[in-house]
Structure 1
Amino acid sequence: MSVKVAKFGGSSVADAKQIKKISTIILDDPTRKFVIVSAPGKRHENDFKMTDILILLAETYNNQDVFENYLDIIIKRFSEIITDLNLPSTLIHEIKDTIISTISSDLPYVRKLDAIKALGEDCNAKVISTYLESIGVNATYMNPKDAGIVVSNEPGNAQILQESFQSLYELREHHCDVLVIPGFFGYSKEGHIVTFSRGGSDITGAIVAAGVQANLYENFTDVDSVFTVNPNIVNNPKEIKTLTYKEMRELSYAGFSVFHDEALIPAFRRSIPVAIKNTNNPSLPGTLVVSEKQKQENCVVGIASDTGFCTLYVGKYLMNRELGFGRKLFHILENESVSFEHTPSGIDDMSVIIREHQLTPEKEAKIMKKIKEELKADTVSIHHNLAIIMIVGEGIMNTIGIAKKATTALTDAGVNINMINQGSSDVSMMFGINAEDIDSAIQSLYHEFFEN
Structure 2
Amino acid sequence: MVKVVKFGGSSVADGKQFEKVAAIIREEEARRLIVVSAPGKRFAEDIKTTDLLIHLADAAAEKKDYDAELQQVIERYTAIVESLSLPSQLLAELKAQLISLIETYQEDHPRLYDALMASGENENAKLMAAYLQQLGEEAYYVSPEEAGMVVTDDPGNARILPESYEKIAKLRERSGRLVIPGFFGVSKTGHIVTFPRGGSDITGSIIGAGAEVDLYENFTDVDSIYSVNPSLVEKPHEMEELTYREMRELAYAGFSVFHDEALHPVVKKKIPVCIKNTNHPQAAGTYIVDEREQRGLPVIGIASDKGFISINVRKYLMNKEVGFGRHLLHILAEEGISFEHTPSGIDNMSIIVREEYLNEEAEKKILERIQKELDVEEVHVERELAMVMVVGEGMAKTVGVAAKATTALAEAGVNIKMINQGSSEVSMMFGVNASEADLAVTSLYNACFAKAKA
**Short-chain TM bin:** over 0.9
Question: 2:315 aligns to what?
Answer: 316
How far is the alpha carbon of 1:59 from its aligned partner? 2.2
2:113 counterpart SS class: helix
Question: 1:109 aligns to what?
Answer: 109
1:191 aligns with 2:190: yes
How far is the alpha carbon of 1:337 from its aligned partner? 2.1
1:351 aligns with 2:358: no
How far is the alpha carbon of 1:149 from its aligned partner? 1.1
How far is the alpha carbon of 1:327 from its aligned partner? 2.0
Deviation >3 Å, runs of 4+: none
Q: Distance in 2 between the 1:165 and 1:22 partners?
A: 27
The answer to whether the 8 Å contact 2:297/2:394 transfers is no
Aligned amino acid, residue 361 of structure 1: E
How far is the alpha carbon of 1:46 from its aligned partner? 1.2
How far is the alpha carbon of 1:195 from its aligned partner? 0.9
Question: 1:49 aligns to what?
Answer: 48
Question: 1:158 aligns to what?
Answer: 158
Q: Distance in 2 between the 1:60 and 1:370 partners?
A: 40
Deviates more, 1:283-292 or 1:187-196: 187-196
The answer to whether the 8 Å contact 1:371/1:377 transfers is yes
1:293 aligns with 2:303: no
Q: Distance in 2 between the 1:174 and 1:124 partners?
A: 21
The answer to whether the 8 Å contact 1:141/1:181 transfers is yes
The answer to whether the 8 Å contact 1:200/1:263 transfers is yes
The answer to whether the 8 Å contact 2:367/2:380 transfers is yes
Q: Distance in 1 between the 2:401 and 2:44 partners?
A: 38
Question: 2:231 aligns to what?
Answer: 232
Q: CA 1:343/1:425 → structure 2, altered by over 3 Å: closer, same or farther?
A: farther
Aligned amino acid, residue 175 of structure 1: S
1:420 counterpart SS class: strand
Q: Distance in 2 between the 1:66 and 1:416 partners?
A: 52
Q: Distance in 2 between the 1:62 and 1:31 partners?
A: 43
How far is the alpha carbon of 1:143 from its aligned partner? 0.4
How far is the alpha carbon of 1:402 from its aligned partner? 0.7
1:30-50 deviation per Cα after TM superposition (whole angstroms, max 9, x unaligned): 110010000111111111111
The answer to whether the 8 Å contact 1:5/1:217 transfers is yes
Q: Distance in 2 between the 1:416 and 1:166 partners?
A: 52
Q: Structure 2 matches for 1:160-309, cutoff 5 A?
A: 160-176=160-176, 178-309=177-308
1:46 counterpart SS class: coil
Aligned amino acid, residue 115 of structure 2: A
Q: Distance in 2 between the 1:374 and 1:409 partners?
A: 41
Q: Distance in 2 between the 1:65 and 1:397 partners?
A: 58
How far is the alpha carbon of 1:28 from its aligned partner? 0.8
Deviates more, 1:40-49 or 1:27-36: 40-49
2:342 counterpart SS class: coil
Q: CA 1:53/1:336 → structure 2, altered by over 3 Å: closer, same or farther?
A: farther
Question: 1:433 aligns to what?
Answer: 432
Question: 2:397 aligns to what?
Answer: 398
Q: Structure 2 matches for 1:432-451, cutoff 5 A?
A: 432-451=431-450
Question: 1:89 aligns to what?
Answer: 88
Q: Distance in 1 between the 2:434 and 2:191 partners?
A: 42
Deviates more, 1:302-311 or 1:392-401: 392-401
Q: Distance in 2 between the 1:340 and 1:228 partners?
A: 27
Deviates more, 1:44-53 or 1:34-43: 44-53
How far is the alpha carbon of 1:397 from its aligned partner? 2.9
1:176-231 deviation per Cα after TM superposition (whole angstroms, max 9, x unaligned): 2x100000111112222111111010000011111111110000001111000011
Aligned amino acid, residue 444 of structure 2: L
Aligned amino acid, residue 401 of structure 1: G
The answer to whether the 8 Å contact 1:397/1:423 transfers is no
2:165 counterpart SS class: helix
1:239 counterpart SS class: coil
Aligned amino acid, residue 304 of structure 2: S
The answer to whether the 8 Å contact 2:312/2:348 transfers is yes
1:418-442 deviation per Cα after TM superposition (whole angstroms, max 9, x unaligned): 1000134431000011111122211
1:104 counterpart SS class: helix
Aligned amino acid, residue 290 of structure 1: V
Aligned amino acid, residue 173 of structure 1: E
Aligned amino acid, residue 149 of structure 1: M
1:358-389 deviation per Cα after TM superposition (whole angstroms, max 9, x unaligned): 12222222221221122111111111111111
How far is the alpha carbon of 1:320 from its aligned partner? 1.5
How far is the alpha carbon of 1:451 from its aligned partner? 1.6
1:326-365 deviation per Cα after TM superposition (whole angstroms, max 9, x unaligned): 2222222223321111000111110011111112222222
Unaligned runs of at least 5 residues, structure 2:
none
The answer to whether the 8 Å contact 2:226/2:239 transfers is yes
Question: 1:16 aligns to what?
Answer: 15
TM-score (norm 2): 0.97
Q: Distance in 2 between the 1:141 and 1:96 partners?
A: 18
Question: 2:420 aligns to what?
Answer: 421
Question: 2:119 aligns to what?
Answer: 119
Aligned amino acid, residue 400 of structure 2: G
Q: Distance in 1 between the 2:406 and 2:130 partners?
A: 56
Q: Distance in 2 between the 1:415 and 1:405 partners?
A: 14
Residue correspondences, number:
450
Unaligned runs of at least 5 residues, structure 1:
none
1:397-416 deviation per Cα after TM superposition (whole angstroms, max 9, x unaligned): 33211100100111111111
Aligned residues: CA RMSD = 1.2
The answer to whether the 8 Å contact 2:277/2:283 transfers is yes
1:119-160 deviation per Cα after TM superposition (whole angstroms, max 9, x unaligned): 000000001110111111111100011111111122111111
How far is the alpha carbon of 1:118 from its aligned partner? 0.8
Question: 1:339 aligns to what?
Answer: 338
1:351 counterpart SS class: strand
Q: Distance in 2 between the 1:405 and 1:81 partners?
A: 51
